[in-house]
Amino acid sequence: MKRVAGIFTVLVFAFILSSFTLNAAEVTAVPSSHPVFVDNEPVPFRAFNIGGSNFFMLRDIAYTLNGTSSQFDVTWDGERGAINLLTGQSYTVLGGEMASGDGVAATATPSAAAVYSNGVPVNLRAYNIGGNNFFMLRDLGEALGFEVLWDETLRAVIIVTGYAAAYEYVPASQPSPEIITPPVVVPGGDRLVWVPRTRNNIYHSINDCGRMNPNFATSYTHTELHARGYRACDRCW
C-alpha cells in the first residue's frame, strides 16, 4: 500500500511539474493585422503573430490553396495519431474553414501535434490557440512547396503557389515590364531566349511564361546558353 501511495505521489508530482512546464511555455498570440495575398488575390485569413512569425490554421491554408499546384489534402492517420498531409491532392472540405477571428489576443501553448507529409514526418512549429492548432506559415510553405514573401510597400504577407520554386513574385509597386512573347530571331538565324534571375539554369522562349518575373529576365542567344548546358523550359519551349 505504501508503495502504491509512493507511485501516486510521484504521479501527482509529475502532473504538477508538467502543468508547470506547460504554463511556463505559454505565450501571447496577437491577431495579425497584415493583409495576406495568395497569388496576388487578397484572402481574409485568421492569423496570429507570435514572436514575429505568422501562424495559420492548416485547414485554412489547405482550403485556400485547393485548385492550385500547391494544393494538398489533410487527413488523420489514426495508427500514428498524426496529421498527414497529401501533397498534390485536392482538399477535402470539412466545414468551418476560413472562420473569422474575434481580433483579440489569445494565450498560445506549443503544440505537440505530430505531422507527416506523404508519410514522412515533418517538423512544423505550431501553437494551440483556443483548441485549434496554428502552424508557422513559413514552415508550411517549406513543407508544402509554396513561397512566403513579405511585401514592404503593402506591409503584406504574400503566398506564391504554383511553380513556387521557379516563380518570381512581382511586387505591386513595380511598373509593368514590356512582355516579349513571340520568339525573337536575331541576325544569323539564332533565337533570343530568356533567363530568369533565379533558377537561372533554364532558358525560356518568352520572357513571361509564368515561371519568371519579366522585370528581371535577361536575354541571350539560344546557341550560347545551349552550349553552356542550360536546359529549355518544359512549359514554353
Query: Which stretch, 20-28, 80-88, 169-177, 204-212, contacts Zn ion (CB under 5 A)?
Result: 204-212
CA count, 13 A, side-chain hemisphere, 115 = 23
Whose Cβ is closer to Zn ion: residue 155's or residue 231's? 231
Q: Helix, strand or coil for residue 150?
A: strand
Burial 59-88 (b: 16+ CB within 10 A, else e): bbbbbbbbebebbbebeeeeeeebbbbbee
Residue nearer to Zn ion on the CB measure, 50 or 209: 209
- Phi, psi of 220, deg, nearest 5: -140, 175
What are the residues facing 48 on neighbouring strands?
31, 55
Least distance CB 41 / Zn ion (angstroms): 23
CB 134 within 8 A of CB 55: yes
Among 204, 213, 214, 222, binds Zn ion (CB under 5 A): 204
Q: Does 209 bind Zn ion (CB under 5 A)?
A: yes
Residue 183 CB, nearest distance to Zn ion (Å)? 12
Asked if residue 152 lies in contact with residue 31, where contact means CB atoms within 8 angstroms, the answer is: no
Contacting range for Zn ion; rule: CB under 5 A; set: 74-82, 85-93, 175-183, 208-216 = 208-216
140 touching Zn ion, by CB under 5 A: no
Stretch binding Zn ion (CB under 5 A), from 3-11, 56-64, 71-79, 225-233? 225-233
Task: Write out the residues near Zn ion by the rule CB under 5 A.
Answer: 204, 209, 233, 235-236
